[in-house]
Amino acid sequence: MSVKKISLKRELPTTTLSGFALSGLLVLTILNILLQNMPSKIQTAGDALLKLNATEGVANAVTTVVVFFRGFDTLGEIAVLFIASLGIGLMLHSNSKCNIKAESNFMLQTASKLLFPIILLFGTYVMIYGHLSPGGGFQGGVIIASGVLLLLISHKAFEVPHSVIVALETFAGVSYVLIGLIGLLVLDVFLGNFLPHDISQMGLLLSGGIIPLVYIIVGIKVGSEMSMIVQNLIQRDHDV
C-alpha cells in the first residue's frame, strides 16, 4: 500500500492561526460565563426589575425599565441617533438651493393640510402619555417626523428651518444631561428620581417624577433628528 504524500506547500499564516486561537478563547470564556450564571441569576433578572417597578409609581413597566433602570443606555441610544443624523447631514447636505421638487398632486396638498395637525397631536399624545400607555419618546418623535415627511412631499416650498432644529436638539440634549446631573447631586445616582413619585399617584398624568419629563425630552430630540434626516434625504433626492 502506498501512502499518498500530501505536501504542505502553503502553510497557514500566523495571523490567521492567532485569529482562530483568539476567537476560540473568546467563545470558551463566554461559554464559561454563561454556564456559571445560567441557573438562577439570568432567569430572575426581569422579575426583579418588575418588582422594583412599583417603587417609581409608573403604570407602564416598560417605560420604567427604558427610562429609569436603563436611563444611561437611552442616553447612549440618543447619542447614536445624533451621530447617524450628523453623518447623513455631512454626506448629503448640499449648499446649492436649486432643489427642483416636482409639483405634487392637488389631492395630496389638501389632505396633508388636514392630516398634519392630527399627526402632530397624535405624536404629542404618544410622547406625553408614554408612562401610562404603550408608546413613548421614540415612537412619538418618529410619528412627528413622519408628519414632517408628508409636508415635505406635498409642499414644494416647505422646509424646516435649520435654526429651529438646532435649538430644539440642543435644548433636549442639554436638559437630559442636566436632569441626570441634578439626580447625581440630590440622590448620588445619575438620573436619580428626585421629583416626588408617590405610588398612590400611579396612573395620573403627573406621576412618576422625572420619567415623563425625560421621555418628553427624548421625544423632542428624536423628532428633530428624524425630521432633519428625512429633509436631507428628500432634498438630495430632488437635487440630482
Name which of residues 94 to 113 contact another protein (CB under 8 A). none
Distances from the Cα of 31 to the Cαs of 9, 19, 22, 106, 153, in angstroms? 36, 18, 14, 61, 51
Q: Choose between 81 and 191: whose C-beta lies nearer to another protein.
A: 81
> How far does CA 142 lie from the centroid of its chain?
10
Report in angstroms how near the CB of residue 133 gets to another protein at its nearest.
8
Residue 95 has a CB neighbour count (10 Å cut-off) of: 4
Going from the C-alpha of 184 to that of each of 62, 74, 172, 191, 239, the distances in angstroms are: 23, 17, 18, 7, 48
Site for another protein in 119-148 (CB under 8 A): 126, 134-136, 138-139, 142-143, 145-146
Task: Please report how close the Cβ of residue 98 comes to another protein at its closest, in angstroms.
Answer: 16
We find the least distance from the C-beta atom of residue 142 to another protein, in angstroms, to be 5
Range 153-172, binding another protein (CB under 8 A):
none
Site string for another protein, 209-238 (x = CB under 8 A): -----------------x--xx--xx-xx-
Considering only residues 58 to 77 of the shown chain, the ones binding another protein according to CB under 8 A are: 60, 62-63
The grid coordinates listed for 123 are 405624536
CA distance 18 to 32: 21
Nearer to another protein by C-beta: 60 or 207?
60
Distances (CA, A) of 98 to 219, 235, 237: 32, 9, 12
In terms of CB distance, is 71 or 192 closer to another protein? 71
Residue 135 is classified by DSSP as: -
Give the distance from CA 15 to its chain's centroid.
Answer: 38
Nearer to another protein, 63 or 112 (CB): 63
CB of 173 to another protein, least distance (A): 21
- How many residues touch another protein (CB under 8 A)? 22
Q: Does 180 bind another protein (CB under 8 A)?
A: no
Alpha-carbon Rg for the chain in angstroms: 26
Q: Which is nearer to another protein, 63 or 207 (CB)?
A: 63
C-alpha grid cell, residue 174 = 442639554
Residues that bind another protein (CB under 8 A): 60, 62-63, 126, 134-136, 138-139, 142-143, 145-146, 149, 226, 229-230, 233-234, 236-237, 240
